[in-house]
Amino acid sequence: MRERTTQFLAGLGTLAVGLFPVLASFDVVASDDSDFGAPRWLVAAIGYLFVLVGAWLTLTRAPDRPLTALLRALTSPLLLALCALFCAAVVIWFRRVHAGSTTRAAFLALAVAFALAAGRALTEALASLRRRRRG
């Protein structure tokens, strides 16, 4: 139980650490272009990897509560939907993250792919939850 709590807290910390570069890249947290040693979209993508790992740890290692089982069942669709949302944000706010047309096209394709994968994962997760409920 103690190890699970430690991993849960590590997940929250990782999530918080990843949020800062994402928010700075989208200029939610005020930052100069000179603060970045790479394109903003790349800094945001790297920060977002930390957000995803933190979200995964937080969802899978959360203390046992009634809602926790549901969250664990929906982890894959939630993470895929978050990926789609991030890719769509790069496409929508391309000026803020200094994304060129090729980068926008790639992120648009990724957003569509992640959204389709999230829909499929959600369908499978709901079917699994229905089977558990009946059985």
| Span 79-97, average pLDDT | 94
Domain that holds residue 83: 2-134
* Degrees to nearest 5, angle at CA 28 with 22 and 34: 75
Q: How far apart are the first and last CA of the chain?
A: 28
% of the chain at pLDDT higher than 90: 64
Domain tally for the chain? Answer: 1
Query: DSSP letter at 62?
Result: P
pLDDT bin (cut points 50, 70, 90) of residue 135 is: low
pLDDT number for residue 1: 67
Which residue bears the tokens 């994304």?
A: 99
Identify the pLDDT of residue 54.
92
Tell me which residue of 74, 70, 78, 60 sits closest to 115, measured CA to CA: 78
pLDDT per residue as tens digits for the range 105-120 = 999 999 999 999 999 9
Whole-model pTM: value is 0.82
